């Protein structure tokens, strides 16, 4: 071929790939038989990138028809990772260059690939490439499996944490893994392999005894012997080995595993000491399994509780339950230890003879090597005598405090500068000051008339000098500016050096205005109770709201002047399950706040029951509320269990204002009642309804303070106005929508707010 003549390009291009191959010569018919009968994949390809001729093995191997293979460039059937190589080979062949074998992968009709080993011959003058390919997929897979098996064996041999070896009957070490080298503290494998096996034993005779056992028994499984490390340190090693023999029964070599058991030996000794200490300690010790079943108790436990070990093993610690602690106490305990944290606290338990005793306890989880809780250990101390002494001491202290604070006369103490450092409730009541306004802030001269200051200074100096004064008359000035005539007597308290430390004064009211002062004290107490109720009310509301993927929500409670009975909550039932609660307790002030606190405690302590049986949970709450409240006291409640993943709300409405479900198209559903209010009926039942929400749907929960808000004309705000407000502003974020509703209600109503107004606004997303 002339150098200047153009030869076909070896890359893929559009061409007449359907042109017939050269006409056969007289010898070609026989060759066609070989072509058809070959077990290898034979083909004729053009430099245009298309097959021209294929033998039947192609269809059998790849699953494509011959027509499909001839109609498309052969590069389309090549694995993407092998195409660059295939193109390079095709270019060399198109250039007429000789080529050795090469491998690539061809795609089958089912999407799998087969490995092919190629040999090709170019015929440049015809623009053709004659090629033969052999399917080597099985060989490739075998090679891969063998390589992976070898790598796994080597990885296992080197990575296993115990020593593995192979040695000869003459004591030569043939093989040792890295763990064995490190166990025996050798610097490298070579230095260990160069050491006679007998030299590794603390007593070399052990090697020969071991070898004798191997010769007769063929294996050892529980041999434990001492070895000497390279640094001279003695270690205990557990040896598991077997003898490998030839066909005549002669030992070729020994192979086995050495495991460092020094730590276990040390642990066994420490465990023996610990066991002895546990048995001898005077404090009761209990060990239970992860399911709470008692597995061990010490002698002190038997002595304190009166139960023998045989009586309690297999039982649970409930055998000691006294009934004094509420369920919430045990729930918090289990929550703590199941979270992997230790728990400290005091139990009131019941002995076998029925007597109660106080026990100061610590309970801690014990973890398995997999990091899971395997056991719980409880260490207790009987503190019954201490508790009884503390109780008596506290009772005495309470009596003294009550006597001091509520005596019919005033008591106070002044420091050397005349500043109040103690004062009883009686005297505070007379003066009208709060304790924090007096103690360490005011001098006695600050609460008497100016004209009495000089007389007090003289009397105070006398008190410091002679140790007492009697019947000093002053007019004390109350916080409100009115005066109170008093008669004061005092004694001095001195330190160990005889220096004046403080006064101890008694003050008598010389007026007949005790009734008036008592009324003022009652008013102060009532105000304090109201404030306490308000604080209790505020603390009952959730401080945080569980995050949900499919629901955003906001809440607010606008309190009236008198503390009402509104309550709302967000209870995290389980991952992806949150209870949305709105309730209204009958009653105001401190009693209403306390009822709310009780309701909240009942809901939280029983909330896990709601996951299984919401009506039963509410029945428990109703029973508790009925038993713990006076007749006529009740609570309306809406309890909605929202399932995050399904956007589904299962709810029970116990006599509460029906929440609004405003659909994204503006239609409104009222989540009406499914049961009566709580606390009125002992025999109480309710049902559960369900609402399926879609993205954009809005839920509005509210208490009666919202629809019953009155304007100047005496009209109620009503549910209709509430629906209109939500519809008109449903495009707003939930926090903004809530503010709009609250503002709209406030603008509508006039004068003093009569009742609490509670709102929860939620939108599905």
* Under 8 Å between Cβ of 391 and 384: no
**In the predicted model, is pLDDT for residue 22 greater than 70?**
no
Residues 258-285, mean pLDDT to the nearest whole number: 78
Segment among 23-27, 340-344, 379-383 with least mean pLDDT: 23-27
Return the DSSP state at 323: S
Q: Is the pLDDT of residue 536 over 80?
A: no
Helix, strand or coil for residue 25?
Answer: coil
Q: What is the pLDDT of residue 10?
A: 43
Q: Which of 322, 433, 304, 273 is nearest to 378 (CA)?
A: 304
Looking from the CA of 405 toward its CB, the CA atoms found within 13 Å total: 8
Instruction: Please state, in angstroms and rounded to a whole number, the distance separating the CA atoms of residues 344 and 362.
Output: 4
Q: Going along 112-171, which residue ranges are E strands?
A: 113-123, 128-135, 163-167
Closest C-alpha among 259, 217, 267 to residue 240: 259
Task: Name residues whose C-beta falls within 8 Å of residue 117's C-beta, 6 or more positions apart in sequence.
Answer: 101, 102, 103, 133, 134, 136
The beta-strand segments (E) located in 229-270 are: 234-245, 251-260
Compute the average pLDDT of residues 513-526: 62
Lowest mean pLDDT among 18-32, 316-330, 485-499, 585-599: 18-32
How many Å apart are CA 591 and CA 593, to the nearest integer? 5
**Tokens coding 569:** 């909550």
Write the pLDDT tens digit of every residue in 473-517.
Answer: 999 999 999 999 999 999 999 999 999 999 999 999 998 554 455
Average pLDDT for 566-570: 91
Average pLDDT over residues 207-232: 86
Buried b (16+ CB within 10 A) or exposed e, 439-464: beebbbbebbeeebeeebeebbeebe
Answer whether residue 418 shows pLDDT above 70: yes
Asked if the model's pLDDT at residue 655 lies above 70, the reply is yes
Average pLDDT, the chain: 87
3-state secondary structure of 347: strand
717 burial via Cβ count (<10 Å: 0-12, 13-18, 19+): buried
User: What is d(CA 551, CA 667) in angstroms, rounded to the nearest whole number?
Assistant: 19
Classify the C-alpha dihedral 419-421-422-426 as positive or negative.
positive
Q: Which residues contact 356 (CB under 8 A, 6 or more apart)?
A: 322, 324, 348, 349, 350
- Rg of the chain in Å (alpha carbons): 47
Reply yes or no on whether the pLDDT at 291 is more than 60: yes
User: What is the distance between the alpha carbons of residues 566 and 553, in angstroms, rounded to a whole number?
Assistant: 18
Assess whether pLDDT exceeds 90 at residue 82: yes
**Chain-centroid distance, C-alpha 333:** 16
Predicted confidence at residue 215, as pLDDT, reads: 85
DSSP state of 284: -
Structure tokens at 336: 């703590």
Least confident of 410-419, 526-535, 547-556: 526-535
Average pLDDT over residues 32-54: 88
Length of the chain: 765
Quick one: CA dihedral 586, 590, 595, 600, positive or negative?
positive
d(CA 69, CA 91): 21
For the ranges 536-550, 620-634, 717-731, the one whose mean pLDDT is highest: 717-731
* Cβ pair 623, 666 in contact under 8 A: no
The rounded distance, in Å, linking the Cα atoms of 551 and 530 is 36
List C-alpha distances in Å: 374 to 176, 295, 367: 36, 12, 5
Residue 16 DSSP SS3: coil
Residue 62 pLDDT: 94
User: Which among 287, 294, 274, 278 is positioned nearest to 377, based on CA atoms?
Assistant: 287
Q: What proportion of the chain, given as a percentage, has pLDDT over 90?
A: 58
Query: Of the given ranges (16-25, 339-348, 680-689), which has the lowest mean pLDDT?
Result: 16-25
Residue 537: pLDDT band with limits 50, 70, 90: low
What pLDDT score does 8 carry?
Answer: 41
Residue 330 predicted with pLDDT over 60: yes
Mean pLDDT of 210-234: 86
Query: DSSP E strands: which ranges in 415-479?
Result: 420-423, 468-477
Residue 444 CA neighbour count, 13 Å, CB half: 29
The answer to whether residues 293 and 315 touch, using CB atoms and an 8 Å cutoff, is yes
What's the CA angle centered on 603, arms 600 and 607, to 5 degrees? Answer: 145
Q: Measure the CA–CA gap between 120 and 136, rounded to whole angstroms.
A: 16
Give CA–CA dist 606/629, Å, rounded. Answer: 19
Q: Looking at the predicted structure, is the pLDDT value of residue 579 above 50?
A: yes
For residue 750, the tally of other CB atoms under 10 A from its CB is 12
Cα of 339 vs its chain's centroid, Å: 7
The alpha helices in 287-351, defined as continuous H runs, are: 299-305, 309-312, 327-338
Task: Say if residue 25's pLDDT is above 70.
Answer: no
Tokens 């099985």 correspond to: 138
> Would the pLDDT of 633 be above 60?
yes
Distance CA 254, CA 266 (A): 29
pTM, two decimals, is: 0.37
Q: pLDDT at position 12, please?
A: 42
| CA-based nearest residue to 487, from 472, 467, 502 | 472
Q: What are phi and psi of 664, to 5 degrees?
A: -65, -25
Note whether 283 and 305 are within 8 A (CB): no
Task: Report the alpha-carbon distance of residue 567 to residue 139 in Å, rounded.
Answer: 75
What does the pLDDT read at residue 270?
74
- CA-CA-CA-CA torsion for 274, 276, 280, 285, nearest 10 degrees? 50
Task: Order the strands of the 410-414 sheet from edge to edge.
Answer: 420-423, 410-414, 500-509, 483-494, 468-477
Distance (Å, whole) CA 573 – CA 350:
33
Bridge partners of residue 648, in order along the sequence: 643, 692
Mean pLDDT check: name the lowest of 417-426, 557-566, 618-627. 557-566
What is the pLDDT, as a whole number, of residue 533? 62
Q: Is 534 exposed, middle or buried (0-12, 13-18, 19+ CB in 10 A)?
A: middle
The pLDDT assigned to 11 comes to 44
CA torsion sign, 246 to 250 to 251 to 252? negative
For residue 31, give every residue at least 6 positions away whose Cβ sits within 8 Å of its Cβ, in sequence order, or none.
none
Confidence category of residue 280, pLDDT binned at 50, 70, 90: confident
Give DSSP secondary structure letters for 357-426.
EEEEEEEEEEE-TTSSEEEEEEEEEE-HHHHHHHHHHHHHHHHHHHHHHT-SSEEEEE-TTSBEEEE-HH
- 676 vs 102: CA distance, rounded Å: 85
pLDDT digits (tens, 9 = 90+) for 128-167: 999 999 999 998 888 888 887 767 767 667 767 788 889 9
Mention every residue, 6+ apart, whose C-beta is less than 8 A from residue 518: none
Lowest model confidence (mean pLDDT) among 107-116, 217-226, 723-732 = 217-226
């Amino acid at each position: 071929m002339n150098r200047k003549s153009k030869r076909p390009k070896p890359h893929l291009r559009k061409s007449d790939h359907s042109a017939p191959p050269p006409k056969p010569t007289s010898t070609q018919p026989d060759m066609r038989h070989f072509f058809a009968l070959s077990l290898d994949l034979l083909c004729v390809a053009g430099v245009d990138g298309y097959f021209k001729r294929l033998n039947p093995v192609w269809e059998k191997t790849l699953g494509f028809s011959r027509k499909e293979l001839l109609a498309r460039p052969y590069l389309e059937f090549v694995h993407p990772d092998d195409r660059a190589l295939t193109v390079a080979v095709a270019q060399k062949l198109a250039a007429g260059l000789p080529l050795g074998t090469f491998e690539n992968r061809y795609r089958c009709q089912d999407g799998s690939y087969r490995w092919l080993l190629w040999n090709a011959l170019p015929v440049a003058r015809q623009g053709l490439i004659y090629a033969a390919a052999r399917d080597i997929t099985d060989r490739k897979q075998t090679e891969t499996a063998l390589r992976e098996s070898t790598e796994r064996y080597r990885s296992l041999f080197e990575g296993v944490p115990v020593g593995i070896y192979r040695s000869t009957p003459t004591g030569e070490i043939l093989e040792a893994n890295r763990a064995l080298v490190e166990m025996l503290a050798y610097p490298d494998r070579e230095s260990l392999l160069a050491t006679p096996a007998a030299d590794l034993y603390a007593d070399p005779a052990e090697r020969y005894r071991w070898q004798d056992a191997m010769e007769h028994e063929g294996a050892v499984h529980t041999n434990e012997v001492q070895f000497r490390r390279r640094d001279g340190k003695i270690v205990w090693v557990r040896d598991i080995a077997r003898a490998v023999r030839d066909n005549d029964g002669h030992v070729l070599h020994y192979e086995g595993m050495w495991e460092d058991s020094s730590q276990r030996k040390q642990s066994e000794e420490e465990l023996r000491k610990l066991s002895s200490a546990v048995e001898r300690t005077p404090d009761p010790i209990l060990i239970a399994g992860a399911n709470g079943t008692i597995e061990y108790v010490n002698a002190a436990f038997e002595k304190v509780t009166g139960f023998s070990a045989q009586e309690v093993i297999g039982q649970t610690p409930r055998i000691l339950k006294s009934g004094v602690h509420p369920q919430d106490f045990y729930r918090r305990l289990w929550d703590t230890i199941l979270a992997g944290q230790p728990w400290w606290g005091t139990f009131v338990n019941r002995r076998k003879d029925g007597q109660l005793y106080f026990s100061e306890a610590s309970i801690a989880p014990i973890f398995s090597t997999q990091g899971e809780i395997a056991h719980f250990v409880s260490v207790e101390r009987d503190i019954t005598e201490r508790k009884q002494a503390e109780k008596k001491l506290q009772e005495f202290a309470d009596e003294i405090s009550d006597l001091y604070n509520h005596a019919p006369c005033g008591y106070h103490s002044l420091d050397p500068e005349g500043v109040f450092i103690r004062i009883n409730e009686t005297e505070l009541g007379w003066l009208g000051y709060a304790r924090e306004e007096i103690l360490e802030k005011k001098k006695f001269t600050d609460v008497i008339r100016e004209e009495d200051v000089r007389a007090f200074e003289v009397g105070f100096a006398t008190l410091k000098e002679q140790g007492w004064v009697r019947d000093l008359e002053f007019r004390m000035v109350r916080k409100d500016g009115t005066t109170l005539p008093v008669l004061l007597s005092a004694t001095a308290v001195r330190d160990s050096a005889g220096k004046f430390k403080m006064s101890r004064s008694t003050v008598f009211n010389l007026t007949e205005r005790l009734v008036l002062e008592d009324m003022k004290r009652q008013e102060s107490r009532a105000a304090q109770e109201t404030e306490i109720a308000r604080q209790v009310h505020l603390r009952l509301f959730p401080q945080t709201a569980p995050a949900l993927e499919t629901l955003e929500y906001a809440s607010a409670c606008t309190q009236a002047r008198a503390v009402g009975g509104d309550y709302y909550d967000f209870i995290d039932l389980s991952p992806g399950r949150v209870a949305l609660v709105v309730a209204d307790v009958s009653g105001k002030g401190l009693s209403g706040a306390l009822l709310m606190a009780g309701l909240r405690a009942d809901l939280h302590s029983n909330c896990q029951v709601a996951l299984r049986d919401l009506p039963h949970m509410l029945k428990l709450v109703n029973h508790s509320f009925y038993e713990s409240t006076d007749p006529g006291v009740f609570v309306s409640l809406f309890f909605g269990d929202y399932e995050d993943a399904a956007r589904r709300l299962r709810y029970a409405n116990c006599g509460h204002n029906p929440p609004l479900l405003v659909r994204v198209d503006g239609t409104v559903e009222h989540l009406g009642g499914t049961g009566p209010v709580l606390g009125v009926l002992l025999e109480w039942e309710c049902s559960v309804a369900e609402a399926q929400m879609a993205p954009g749907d809005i839920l509005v929960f509210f208490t009666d303070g919202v629809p019953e808000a009155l304007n100047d004309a005496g009209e109620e705000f009503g549910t209709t106005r509430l629906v209109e407000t939500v519809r008109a502003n449903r495009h707003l974020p939930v926090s903004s929508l809530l503010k709009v509703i609250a503002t709209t209600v406030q603008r509508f109503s006039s004068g003093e707010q009569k009742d609490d107004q509670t709102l929860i606004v939620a939108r599905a997303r």
